[in-house]
Amino acid sequence: MSSLFEARTFDETMNSPVRELKVAPKPGKQGKPGLVDPALFKGDNHLYAVMDEYGHWYFKYKNGILPEVLKASKFTKLSSAIDFAKAYFDKRDLEVTEVLQINAT
């Protein structure tokens, strides 16, 4: 049986274990992605925050290998993971523009 996915805007009451973080260059900036996959903010790749079986949140790309600092990080709260991602991308003139819940239906 195939799964369909729907996305909703972030709110603290969400209970899905998967969130997609939309990343884009800051307004008026081109962004300095460094090790960040440029396909991420062109829509060709996706960054997810995923909750594991122990309740820890970690980052995952749909395709490719995460930069080490994102790969090595785990968080006990989703809000901490999102704050970490925002700070990480801010240093690269990129921003998290939206956090979507991914629901398997």
pLDDT by position in tens, the chain (length 105): 334 444 544 444 557 899 999 998 888 877 676 778 888 878 888 999 999 999 999 999 999 889 999 999 999 999 999 999 999 999 888 899 999 998 754
φ, ψ of residue 17 in degrees (nearest 5): -85, 10
pLDDT in tens, 48-74: 999 999 999 999 999 988 999 999 999
pLDDT score at 39: 85
For residues 9 and 98, is the Cβ–Cβ distance under 8 A?
yes
Q: Which residue, among 27, 41, 28, has the nearest Cα to 85 in the 3D structure?
A: 41
Dig out the tokens for 36 from the structure.
């960040």
Stated as kind and residue range, the H or E segment containing 18 is strand 18-25
The span from the CA of 34 to the CA of 90, in Å, is: 12
